Structure 1
Amino acid sequence: MAFYTSLTGLNAAQTDLSVTSNNIANAGSYGFKKTTTDFGELVADSPLASGQNIGQGTRLRATIQDFTSGSMKTTNRALDMMVNGDGFFLVKSQGASGTISLTRDGSFLTDKNNNVVTSDGNYLQVYATSNAGDIYTGSNTSTATGGRVLQNLKLPSYEDQITVGKSTDGSLIQVGNSLIANGNITVNGQTISGAQITLGGASYAADGSTLSGGVMTITGGSLITTDADGNTTVTKTPNTTTYTSTDATAKVDTTTGELTSITTLGTLTANGNSYDDGHIVSIDSSTGVPTNTDGDTASNNITPITSDDSGDTSSALSNISVGTDGKVTATFANGNQYTLGAVALGDVNNRNGLHSTGNASWTVTGTSGSLQYREADTSGLGSVQSGALELSNIDLTQELVNLISEQRNFQANSKAISTDNQMVSSVMNIQS
């Protein structure tokens, strides 16, 4: 019996050694959490057992992960992030029914489609926000996210790839490229044919089809000139002026989400000048002559641009920043800024019930409790630190001391087995 009892001790020491070796091997892994072992005594118990039961060895009861925070490593890279607190980043696996995982490894990258992803291709999850940075909340607050909308974070290459998502419950900004259109505009008596109209960061009215606010830009197109005799012709002179407006209103198709008409241009500004007499006009396709200059016109003046059209290089993405509240801000070459979303954080009631999937990532199980969605910097789960990564929480000195202890445990159990073997041999050699 002593042989088998000591064998459980050998197995325990070997398991302990494996856990410590894994800790040491991952000392340089971002977000890694060290593991400890929990052993318990093995006793053969029964109602008829005497009070002098002798134990039968030891068994592994659990491996416990220590979720305390690791040290910070500064990288000065915007997409390198760490959580200053107890929360986890939320990432979603690829596929139509992707699984949400929790991770402490904030070394995010971009894939070929400009999605922000982990090294193994999982999408970083952010809350949808208005351009003002307010987190969008729908009418159904009974959902797990409290009505907040989770979406993949995607970085636009150009300002005209910032679009407003369709919603009937509030303002919501997404990245895509459907709210771009070609139209014909008259500003201060000068008509521009085929100008590109871009609207981003606007808010939906209750009917889900009217947009207001946000930033509208009018670029490109050709100038239409009128000679002294009143004859109007379309010249090939390109329009080099960029007009912007923050109080325009527009209509979208509630089915496709595409921009269908600009109903009000608002006050246009360009080169330090303001114009409040801007109008949308229609151009006769056969003559190129304006047919209406007395106000705004209907949706036939707007031609949506498809997602295959390239962006406007004058408004290329120039900077990405992430605030401590997790809000991701894109700045473009023309100076305009948009909030692309707010990094979502998560947690569970029993962290040691999480299932480890590697790369400092975990998935929810039945023993961990359900996933709780939270906002950064306001919910007790911590803030987001951009330009920094969390190192592992391994204490190498402690792990090396553990190795010595585990080696002695292994040697002691080996000695017990050797002693038991010698005693059995002695018995077997007794001469009658």
Structure 2
Amino acid sequence: MSFNIALSGLNASQKDLDVTSNNIANVNTVGFKESRAEFVDVYAASLLASGKTKVGDGVLTADVAQQFSQGSIQFTNNALDLAITGNGFFATVPELGSLETSYTRAGQFKLNADNFVVNSQGGHLLGFPVNSDGSSASVSLSTAEPIRIPTSSGAPTATSEVDIRMNLPAGDAYISGAPGNFDPEDPLTFNNSTSVTIFDSLGDSHVMTYYFVKDDPTVNPNQWLMFAAVDGVPIDIQDPNTDAIANGRVGGAASGPLSTRPLPPPNAGNFGLVGARLEFTSSGDFIDQFPPLADGIITEQLGSTILSNGAESSQTIQIDFNLDPLAPNPNEPTQFASNFEVTALNQNGLAVGRLTGIDIGPDGLVRATYSNGTSEPLSRIALVNFANEQGLTQIGNTSWKESIVSGEALAGEGGSGTFGTINSSALEQSNVNLTTELIDLISAQRNFQANSRALEVDNQLNQTILQIR
């Protein structure tokens, strides 16, 4: 019997050595969880045997239990490197459409050839679908899908409105001959100018420039003319309610509010342009404009020059001055005794955006940013927890699968309930303490030697008995 006891001790010591060696071997494995060999004694006695004199029958390995304590966090420069601080596992599937879910703490993710977020083994990271505001549409693991990062942000949007706020200097001098001598290529024929990038229906960019010319203060006091050009080609600013080109050119004098006046006599300038007229009070408040709603029209006749790429040639761009006829407001243009200053110049068009970056929040929200200045929520990384983590089945590659002992997978968002938070550009290191493992290694070695010695002594005793005559 003593042979069997010593032999069980050898087996237990060998198992302890194996577990310790495996921990040491994975000291640099991302997301690895150390194991601990747990032993129990063997004791058996018959019904009538005396328990006071019964000796144990050795030792057995009861379990090799993994310890899911938090590993240290190492920060990286890769936004797709993910680490969980607290409870939870990442969920992955081996291929699209698969229901074979595995769970891991190793967050070394990257993009594959189809722009899906995958780990080194090709497992697709699962995420919950999100609404346009970034809120989760569902937190059920059955609705989780592989996360894909699109390289473009969709179809372009043609510019339809430009919002502009500026101050026109009240002290600017009247340029003799204006606006009849206006020439966009001659800065001596206009007082100020500003530009904004607009987009056509194909997402191609163009530069729209606005030129401001102070009118003759003896004829039209506190009035300015505004002309426009796209990519250096002058365009007409037309009244959306009438044919401004047929009725004449902006210029000359008339009485009454601008929005109710007939168009003044022609004043075409060098290019025969139709411009807009802006009127201010003596205190610098913007009170009127003509046309009533100034629209810059890229007409069909300019299609071969400005929009030679095949974009929609009848694109209309509305110029919004935020006119409030009742009282001054901070969104209107002004005419004060200060420098020319553009305080707002925005347009609503978009080019086709290309992916420029990925941002992942502590709650797992994946947001893509694009070169056209937009950002878009794509998905929310699914986290999964279990009632008994140590009951998970190891499958290698620092991954586990659900088992009867572990309980069912419980899905949720990072930072909610008992789930930990997600750190982007970080990795969870192995939770192995190398110093402790080396001490355990020495201890396991001593145990092995002691059991070997017990086996040797048993053998010597048997030899002594066999030699008795």
Q: Tell me which residue corresponds to 2:146.
A: 152
Distance 1:271 1:103, change over 3 A: same
CA distance in 2, matches of 1:13, 1:327: 47
Q: Tell me which residue corresponds to 1:335.
A: 373
Deviates more, 1:147-156 or 1:54-63: 147-156
Q: Secondary structure at the match of 2:382?
A: strand
Q: Tell me which residue corresponds to 2:434.
A: 396
Distance 1:321 1:220, change over 3 A: closer
Structure 1: where are the runs of 5+ without partners? Answer: 138-144, 161-179, 189-215, 245-269, 276-311
User: Contact 1:33–1:394 at 8 Å: present in 2 too?
Assistant: yes
Query: Within the alignment, does 1:75 sit opposite 2:76 as a pair?
Result: yes
CA distance in 2, matches of 1:401, 1:360: 25
Q: Tell me which residue corresponds to 2:59.
A: 58
1:147-296 equivalent positions in 2, closer than 5 A: 149-160=143-154, 218-220=201-203, 235=304, 237-238=308-309, 239=311, 272-273=346-347
Distance 1:186 1:8, change over 3 A: closer
The Cα of 1:13 is off from its aligned counterpart by: 0.3
User: Contact 2:20–2:437 at 8 Å: present in 1 too?
Assistant: yes
CA distance in 2, matches of 1:273, 1:220: 13
Q: Tell me which residue corresponds to 1:418.
A: 456
CA distance in 1, matches of 2:312, 2:386: 55
User: Please, what TM-score do these two structures have when normalized by structure 1?
Assistant: 0.66
Q: Tell me which residue corresponds to 2:386.
A: 348
Q: Tell me which residue corresponds to 2:87.
A: 86
CA distance in 1, matches of 2:348, 2:111: 39
The Cα of 1:348 is off from its aligned counterpart by: 0.5
Q: Tell me which residue corresponds to 1:318.
A: 356
CA distance in 1, matches of 2:91, 2:466: 64
CA distance in 1, matches of 2:136, 2:400: 26
Amino acid at match of 1:11: N
Deviates more, 1:84-93 or 1:415-424: 84-93
Deviates more, 1:11-20 or 1:379-388: 379-388
CA distance in 2, matches of 1:222, 1:156: 22
Distance 1:382 1:222, change over 3 A: closer
User: Contact 2:200–2:312 at 8 Å: present in 1 too?
Assistant: no
Q: Tell me which residue corresponds to 1:358.
A: 396
RMSD after superposition:
3.4
Amino acid at match of 1:407: Q
Amino acid at match of 1:105: A
Distance 1:409 1:186, change over 3 A: closer
User: Contact 1:136–1:149 at 8 Å: present in 2 too?
Assistant: no
CA distance in 2, matches of 1:147, 1:359: 22
- For each residue in 1:274-298, what CA deviation from the matched residue of structure 2 results, as whole angstroms up to 9, or x when unmatched? 69xxxxxxxxxxxxxxxxxxxxxxx
Q: Secondary structure at the match of 1:412?
A: helix
CA distance in 1, matches of 2:85, 2:348: 45
**% identical aligned pairs:** 36
CA distance in 2, matches of 1:121, 1:382: 25
- For each residue in 1:347-375, what CA deviation from the matched residue of structure 2 results, as whole angstroms up to 9, or x when unmatched? 10011110011222111001110000011
CA distance in 2, matches of 1:418, 1:319: 67
Query: Within the alignment, does 1:381 sit opposite 2:381 as a pair?
Result: no
Q: Tell me which residue corresponds to 2:7.
A: 7
CA distance in 2, matches of 1:126, 1:327: 9
State the number of aligned residues: 313
The Cα of 1:218 is off from its aligned counterpart by: 4.5
CA distance in 1, matches of 2:348, 2:369: 23
- For each residue in 1:249-271, what CA deviation from the matched residue of structure 2 results, as whole angstroms up to 9, or x when unmatched? xxxxxxxxxxxxxxxxxxxxx97
Distance 1:232 1:159, change over 3 A: closer
Amino acid at match of 1:272: N
CA distance in 1, matches of 2:464, 2:68: 52
- Which is higher, the Rg of structure 1 or of structure 2? 2
Q: Tell me which residue corresponds to 1:32.
A: 32
CA distance in 1, matches of 2:70, 2:429: 8
Q: Secondary structure at the match of 2:453?
A: helix
Q: Secondary structure at the match of 2:378?
A: strand
The Cα of 1:240 is off from its aligned counterpart by: 10
CA distance in 2, matches of 1:384, 1:346: 12
Deviates more, 1:408-417 or 1:42-51: 42-51
The Cα of 1:45 is off from its aligned counterpart by: 2.9
The Cα of 1:404 is off from its aligned counterpart by: 0.8
The Cα of 1:56 is off from its aligned counterpart by: 1.1
User: Contact 1:136–1:148 at 8 Å: present in 2 too?
Assistant: no
User: Please, what TM-score do these two structures have when normalized by structure 2?
Assistant: 0.61
The Cα of 1:64 is off from its aligned counterpart by: 0.9
Distance 1:364 1:217, change over 3 A: farther
The Cα of 1:379 is off from its aligned counterpart by: 2.0
User: Contact 1:104–1:361 at 8 Å: present in 2 too?
Assistant: yes
Distance 1:131 1:49, change over 3 A: same
Distance 1:429 1:187, change over 3 A: closer
User: Contact 2:395–2:401 at 8 Å: present in 1 too?
Assistant: yes
Amino acid at match of 1:14: Q
User: Contact 1:127–1:148 at 8 Å: present in 2 too?
Assistant: no
Amino acid at match of 1:408: R
Q: Tell me which residue corresponds to 2:47.
A: 47
The Cα of 1:86 is off from its aligned counterpart by: 1.3
Distance 1:429 1:338, change over 3 A: same
Q: Tell me which residue corresponds to 1:406.
A: 444
CA distance in 1, matches of 2:200, 2:129: 23
Query: Within the alignment, does 1:134 sit opposite 2:205 as a pair?
Result: no
The Cα of 1:34 is off from its aligned counterpart by: 0.4
Amino acid at match of 2:123: N
The Cα of 1:99 is off from its aligned counterpart by: 1.2
Q: Which has the higher strand share?
A: 1
CA distance in 1, matches of 2:103, 2:316: 44
